[in-house]
Amino acid sequence: MGAMGTVTVLLFASLAERAGTRRLELPLEEGATVGEVRDRVVAQFPQLAPAVPTLMYALDEEYAREDAPVRPGSTLALIPPVSGG
Partner 1 sequence: MLIRVTEAPISADEGARAVASPAAGAINVFLGVVRNTNLGRAVSHLVYDAYPSMAEKEMRAIAEEAKARFGLEDCAILHRTGRLEIGETSLVVAVSCGHRRESYEAGLWVVNEVKKRVPVWKKEVWEDGEEWIEGPESLGMQQAPASMQR
Tell me the C-alpha distance between 30 and 18, whole Å. Answer: 29
Q: Is residue 24 near partner 1 by the rule CB under 8 A?
A: no
Tell me the C-alpha distance between 64 and 41, whole Å. Answer: 17
List the interface residues with partner 1, window 38-77 (CB under 8 A).
Answer: 53-56, 58, 61-63, 77
Q: Closest CB to partner 1 among 30 and 60?
A: 60
| Nearest of 25, 10, 4, 11 to residue 72 by alpha carbon | 4
Tell me the C-alpha distance between 70 and 59, whole Å. Answer: 8
Q: With CB under 8 A, what is the number of residues at the site for partner 1?
A: 22
Q: Closest CB to partner 1 among 22 and 71?
A: 22
- Binding residues (CB under 8 A) for partner 1: these are 10, 12-14, 16-17, 53-56, 58, 61-63, 77, 79-85
